[in-house]
C-alpha cells in the first residue's frame, strides 16, 4: 500500500513538473573577431578551457567568403549559419553551435540581407525553444535600412510554441552616446519589449570607450547583464550571456499584442501632457502640421503601449459581450487606427 502511494505521489509530482516546465540553460558568446582565419586556433583553446561552458558562438566580421568559412572547423563546434560578402571585403556574420545541439537554419529573410547594411545569420534551437539572430552592420552602413530590416525580422519571427528570441552582433550604434542612431534603435526595442543585456563598454582606446556590441532578449528574460570579456581576439571585447528558458506544456498560445493596462494609459497621458507641440506650431501648412502632430503622437504611443507577447487560451471564446467589453474594444480599435 505504501508502495502504491509513493508511485501515485511520484506520478503526481512528475505531472506537476511537466505543467510548470523544465529549466534549460544555454550559454551564448558573441565576438567581433576581425578575421577568423588566423584566430580560430586561439578560439579553440578558449572554448576548450575558460569558455568550455559556451554552447553557441556568434561571430561578426569573420572576413571570409562562402568557401573559406566552410573550411574553418572549430573543434567540438559546427557552423550552423553564415553570411559572407561577395562584392566587397571583410564583414560577415556566423553562428557556430556545440556538437550535439540540434539546430535549424532559418532562411526566411535572405532578401533582407545586404552587404554593410544588414549582414545576418539566423538559426533556431528547437529543444531550447530559442531563435538566435546574429547581425553585423558596417560603420558606413545605411541606418534607416538597418532599422527597417530589423523591424521586419522581429515582427515576422513571433515565437511559436513559446519560443524565445535572442539578437546579437556588432551594430555600430553606440549605446553610450545619446544621438539619433541610439534613439531610433531604442524606440524599436521598446516597441517589442526587448532589452540590451550588454551594459559595459565593449570597445576601449586610450581616449574613448564605446558600446557597439549587443545581446538583446525579451525584457522578461533579462535577469542579469551580459558579461563583457577581454579575449584578446580583436579590438572588441566579447559578450557572454547565459539564457534560461522553460518549456511549457500549456493549452494557451502566444500572440503579439500592445499593452493597454491602466499604467500604460497613465504614462501615455503624462507624455502627451509634457509635450509642448512647438514643432507643430512652427509649420505653416495644415497637412504639414497634421503630419508632424501624428509623428509626435505615434512616437509617444509606441513608448507607452509597447508590443508584448501575451498568452491566449485556445478554447472558444464566449459569444456574450458586455457593454464594458464593447467600450474597451472600441477604444482599442481607435488607438490602433491612430497608430497606423
Going by C-alpha positions, the residue among 77, 92, 68 that lies closest to residue 45 is: 77
Distance of CA 37 to the CA centre of its chain: 28
Residue 265 and residue 171 share a domain: no
Q: Tell me the residue range of the domain where 196 lies.
A: 24-247
Looking at the fold, whether 173 and 226 belong to one and the same domain comes out as: yes
User: Regarding beta strands 164-170 and 130-136, do their DSSP bridges make them parallel or antiparallel, or are they unpaired?
Assistant: parallel
Whether 129 and 163 have beta carbons less than 8 Å apart is answered as: yes
How many CB atoms sit inside 10 A of residue 242's CB? Answer: 15
199 close to 294: Cβ distance less than 8 angstroms: no
Distance between CA atoms of 170 and 61, rounded to whole angstroms?
9
* CB count in 10 Å sphere of residue 316: 6
Is residue 134, in this structure, part of any structural domain at all? yes
Which residues make Cβ contacts (< 8 Å) with residue 313, sequence separation at least 6? Answer: 251, 252
Are residues 267 and 242 located together in one domain of the fold? no
Q: Do residues 85 and 154 share a domain?
A: yes
**Which of 247, 275, 291 is a domain's end point?**
247
Mark whether 300 and 243 lie in a shared domain.
no
Q: Which residues pair with 166 in a beta bridge?
A: 132, 217
Per residue of the chain (340 residues), what is the pLDDT tens digit?
Answer: 444 333 334 333 333 344 444 556 899 999 999 999 988 889 999 998 999 999 999 999 999 999 999 999 998 999 999 999 999 999 999 999 999 999 999 988 999 999 999 999 999 999 899 999 999 999 999 999 999 999 999 998 855 557 899 999 999 999 999 999 999 999 999 999 999 999 999 998 878 999 999 999 999 888 889 999 999 999 999 999 999 765 444 445 677 888 888 888 988 998 999 999 999 999 999 999 999 999 999 999 999 888 887 766 554 444 434 566 545 544 644 554 455 3
Do residues 262 and 223 both lie within one domain? no
Of 209, 228, 247, the last residue of a domain is 247
Q: Is residue 1 part of a domain?
A: no
Of 247, 263, 287, the one marking the end of a domain is 247
Amino acid at each position: 500500500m505504501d508502495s502504491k502511494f509513493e508511485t501515485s505521489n511520484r506520478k503526481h509530482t512528475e505531472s506537476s513538473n511537466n505543467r510548470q516546465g523544465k529549466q534549460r540553460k544555454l550559454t551564448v558568446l558573441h565576438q567581433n573577431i576581425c578575421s577568423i582565419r588566423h584566430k580560430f586556433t586561439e578560439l579553440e583553446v578558449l572554448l576548450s578551457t575558460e569558455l568550455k561552458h559556451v554552447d553557441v558562438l556568434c561571430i561578426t566580421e569573420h572576413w571570409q567568403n562562402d568557401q573559406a568559412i566552410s573550411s574553418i572547423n572549430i573543434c567540438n563546434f559546427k557552423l550552423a549559419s553564415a553570411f559572407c560578402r561577395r562584392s566587397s571585403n571583410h564583414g560577415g556574420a556566423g553562428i557556430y553551435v556545440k556538437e550535439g545541439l540540434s539546430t535549424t537554419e532559418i532562411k526566411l529573410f535572405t532578401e533582407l540581407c545586404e552587404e554593410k547594411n544588414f549582414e545576418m545569420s539566423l538559426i533556431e534551437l528547437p529543444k531550447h525553444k530559442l531563435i538566435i539572430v546574429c547581425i553585423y552592420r558596417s560603420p558606413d552602413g545605411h541606418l534607416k535600412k538597418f532599422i527597417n530590416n530589423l523591424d521586419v525580422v522581429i515582427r515576422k519571427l513571433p515565437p511559436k510554441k513559446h519560443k524565445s528570441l535572442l539578437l546579437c552582433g556588432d551594430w555600430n550604434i553606440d549605446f553610450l552616446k545619446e544621438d539619433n542612431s541610439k534613439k531610433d534603435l531604442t524606440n524599436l526595442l521598446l516597441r517589442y519589449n526587448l532589452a540590451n543585456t550588454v551594459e559595459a563598454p565593449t570597445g576601449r582606446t586610450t581616449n574613448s570607450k564605446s558600446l557597439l556590441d549587443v545581446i538583446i532578449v525579451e525584457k522578461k528574460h533579462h535577469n542579469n547583464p551580459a558579461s563583457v570579456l577581454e579575449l584578446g581576439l580583436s579590438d572588441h571585447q566579447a559578450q557572454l550571456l547565459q539564457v534560461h528558458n522553460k518549456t511549457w506544456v500549456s493549452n494557451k498560445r502566444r500572440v503579439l499584442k500592445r499593452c493597454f493596462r491602466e499604467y500604460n494609459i497613465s504614462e501615455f497621458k503624462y507624455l502627451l501632457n509634457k509635450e509642448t507641440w512647438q514643432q507643430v506650431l512652427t509649420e505653416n501648412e495644415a497637412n504639414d502640421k497634421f503630419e508632424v502632430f501624428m509623428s509626435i503622437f505615434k512616437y509617444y504611443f509606441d513608448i507607452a503601449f509597447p508590443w508584448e507577447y501575451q498568452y491566449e487560451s485556445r478554447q472558444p471564446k464566449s459569444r456574450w459581450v458586455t457593454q464594458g467589453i464593447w467600450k474597451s474594444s472600441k477604444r482599442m480599435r481607435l488607438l490602433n487606427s491612430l497608430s497606423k
